[in-house]
Chains A and B, each alone.
Chain A
Amino acid sequence: MAELTISKRQIHWQNGLKHLLLILLCVFAIFPIYWMVISSFKGQTEIFNNSLLPSSFSADNYAYALEQVDILGMTVNTFFMAISQAVLQLATAIMAAYALTRWKFPGSRVIYTLFALTWLVPIQATMIPNYTTLVNMGFRDSIVGVIIPNMASAFAILSLYPAFKSFPKALIEAGMMDKMSAPGVLFKLILPNIKSSVVSLGILLFINSWNEYFWPAMIVSDQGQATLQIGLRSFMSAELTSWGPLMAAAVLASLPILILYLLLQKQVIQSFVKWGIK
């Protein structure tokens, strides 16, 4: 990109400041996580002191955490829950956003508003009636019961909406001239071009679901169905928190998602690069 009017020195100075600020923010973002990780390796004698590095790395906390809760099983449950939720939310959102942006049909405004207004209904108010409904439907104590009420996400719809809306109408028209069906336009024309938005949204939905606590805790009580957040919570009780094991379990609970993010991040970037069809 050509910065014709800006002198080189100015750019250096500006860039330096910019990086300094960004690095400071990075420290802010990363420090608590660093603290979590090193604390997970501290022995019990050290756990309460403020040293930035443990004097020796101890795996005791990990051993204890793994012994107390079934982290592997919980990871599998959480993965099943999060992936189902993310995929279903994406599917329903893609269809809804497509319909809302492509056609003007009676009630479309009302429907859009209905989606947007779900943000105003807090989960604290819907939890109890929905739980009762699920129990009556026979989904008590199952991960599926956790997923069912969360198959549609207003956030997903509303954040896909602009992406769909800014998709060039001329291309859709061209597609229709080629006798493409409505799903054809969606799958062959639009989706490949907004892949990056969809993937990043998918990641967000996945993470969101991964970290959910209250609703799974309400539905699931069978330990074989418990999710990671429920497992983590078990290290914190009103009476006493087991710090070291909690930190170790937290590290273990975030590892899968971290790896997944790093892997997908690459994919997202690639689709970012491919962007720019217009």
Chain B
Amino acid sequence: MKKRKLVALLAAAAMFVTMGTGCMTTKATDSAGSGDGDGKTEITFYTYNLSIASQKEAAQKLIDDFNAQSDTVHVTGVAADVMTMQTKIQSDYAAGQTFDVVQCALNQVGYYVDNYKLPAFEDVAGQAAFDEHMEGFAENAKTLGQYRDGKTYVLPYTFSTPMLYYNADLFRDAGLDPDAPIETWDDVKECGLALKAAGHEGVQITATGDGYDWLIQAMIYSNGGDVMNEDHTEVTFTDPNTVGAISMWQDLVKSGAHTNYTDTEAQEAFLAGNQGMLVTTAALESGLISAAESGGWELKAAPFPSFEGKESVPTNSGSGLCIMSSDPEKQAAAWEFIKYVTSAEGYTTITSMMGYLPLRPDIVNDERYLKSWAEEHPFVHTNLAQLERLHRWEGFPGMNGGQIGTLLNQTVTKCIFTDCDVASEMQTAQSQAQDLMP
């Protein structure tokens, strides 16, 4: 009699949980056995494109198209939350429960190879089959997923380069010729000041947010600077060209040609037709195009600007695919899948629906694939031309690599948005970063 109610309550609570657990367990077995009993190899694909509403359809289409045409492999897509993705991969790895194919940022190749036992594509596919697949792949993109040993552990997948987008109507309003080429940062400054004088906003290089150090690196490389020495043992934040690049940037802001908004604010201003120029990833392009269409203004694009007398060096934002399964059968299945999504067909979907670069550049001239699309999207040629001058987006080595990246990002943000002395800020960052190098 005594504790019946309490016991009942506890029992109810316990039942509730067990019930839920039950559901979960059934679910797990379900998905494990959901190969329709036709003996296909089941693999999972962990990708953040599935968690972004505007890219989900395309990402799912890639998976569905693959599943439809494959008799031996069935892929299940798993949406990755960008914020916690890396942490989850690590914890899963510790628990021995990794996803089979994982999408990783291209600056993390070294990190992934050093820390996880990844198979090289040359080994999974066989050298000959791999070489055959890589025919027609952009030369400069091929090496981005290679490790020190020259083997490819990450296959470049979705990526783009930085471009300068501008609002032709605002240009005309400011008395500028929107058809005149904008080539150097001096040109950008001039246009920015003219726009400002006409009551509009100038340029913003959206490179201060999280994960945008690839664009900071592009600025630095374009001025002939570097972030690390050749053998990646020392950071080179105090390199005169590195400091020079940041100083030029600071000067853009000081002069008023460059706005000092957050990345998102600048994007929104541009989308709303108030910001004259935006230097940003080409992955934004489809969004910009539709905003321009509905806002009734003309969008134009130019290559990533250069420093006077130097050629601009764009970097790549974006991701590649790696195989994390250690089971040879699943590895082989993963290769089949990766082969499909990085094929001409795969890139047709990726480029036309998600806006990333076709890493098989020839398909923009091929009737079967992107020719008609490319005719409507002429900017893609500008973007592809930049692949010729591409510099790898470097990740800092060692346990504290991430820390160094954040430090660089914060220091540059501070330098460009305040009046501080760039050389001495970079000096401070240099010594802090060097302490964090392995």
- Are chains A and B touching directly in their complex (CB below 8 angstroms)? yes
- With A48-B295, A68-B53, A135-B92 as given contacts, are A230 and B81 in contact (CB-CB < 8 Å)? yes
Cβ 8 A contact of B27, one of A142, A181, A230: A142
Given the complex of chains A and B, what is the CA–CA distance between A230 and B23 in angstroms?
A: 21
Cβ 8 A contact of B79, one of A43, A138, A183, A223: A223
11 contacting pairs across A/B (C-beta < 8 A)? A131-B91, A132-B91, A132-B94, A135-B91, A144-B24, A183-B4, A217-B84, A218-B84, A221-B46, A223-B79, A239-B287
The total of Cβ contacts below 8 Å across the A-B interface reads 135
Given the complex of chains A and B, what is the CA–CA distance between A242 and B284 in angstroms?
A: 12
A120 interfacial by beta-carbon distance below 8 Å: no
What chain A residues lie within 8 Å of B88 (beta carbons)? Answer: 131, 218, 221
Cβ 8 A contact of A139, one of B24, B31, B55: B24
A binding-site residues for B, Cβ under 8 Å: 43-45, 48-49, 65, 68-69, 80, 84, 87-88, 91, 95, 127-128, 131-132, 135-136, 138-145, 147-148, 181-184, 186-187, 214, 217-218, 221-223, 226, 230, 233-235, 237-242, 245
Given the complex of chains A and B, what is the CA–CA distance between A45 and B271 in angstroms?
A: 11
A180 CB to nearest chain B CB (Å)? 10
Given the complex of chains A and B, what is the CA–CA distance between A253 and B100 in angstroms?
A: 33
Q: Is the CB of A238 within 8 A of B284?
A: no
What chain A residues lie within 8 Å of B420 (beta carbons)? Answer: none
B binding-site residues for A, Cβ under 8 Å: 1-6, 9, 13, 16-17, 20-21, 23-25, 27-28, 31, 46, 50-57, 78-84, 87-88, 91-92, 94-95, 97, 209-211, 264, 267-268, 271-273, 281, 283-284, 287, 290-291, 294-296
List the 9 closest pairs (A to B, CB-CB), nearest first: A48-B272, A142-B24, A144-B20, A183-B6, A44-B294, A135-B95, A240-B287, A217-B81, A68-B53
Q: Is the CB of A48 within 8 A of B92?
A: no
Q: Is the CB of B92 within 8 A of A239?
A: no
- With A221-B81, A238-B210 as given contacts, are A140 and B97 in contact (CB-CB < 8 Å)? yes
Secondary structure of the A side of the interface? Answer: helix
Residue of B nearest to A65 (CB): B53
Given the complex of chains A and B, what is the CA–CA distance between A147 and B23 in angstroms?
A: 14
Given the complex of chains A and B, what is the CA–CA distance between A128 and B83 in angstroms?
A: 13
Given the complex of chains A and B, what is the CA–CA distance between A88 and B291 in angstroms?
A: 47
Q: Is the CB of B284 within 8 A of A240?
A: yes
B334 CB to nearest chain A CB (Å)? 18
Q: Is the CB of A238 within 8 A of B23?
A: no
What chain A residues lie within 8 Å of B52 (beta carbons)? Answer: 234, 237, 239
Q: Is the CB of B50 within 8 A of A223?
A: yes
A87 CB to nearest chain B CB (Å)? 8
Given the complex of chains A and B, what is the CA–CA distance between A214 and B87 in angstroms?
A: 12
Q: Is the CB of B295 within 8 A of A237?
A: no
- With A183-B2, A223-B79, A237-B52 as given contacts, are A144 and B21 in contact (CB-CB < 8 Å)? yes
What chain A residues lie within 8 Å of B17 (beta carbons)? Answer: 88, 144, 147-148
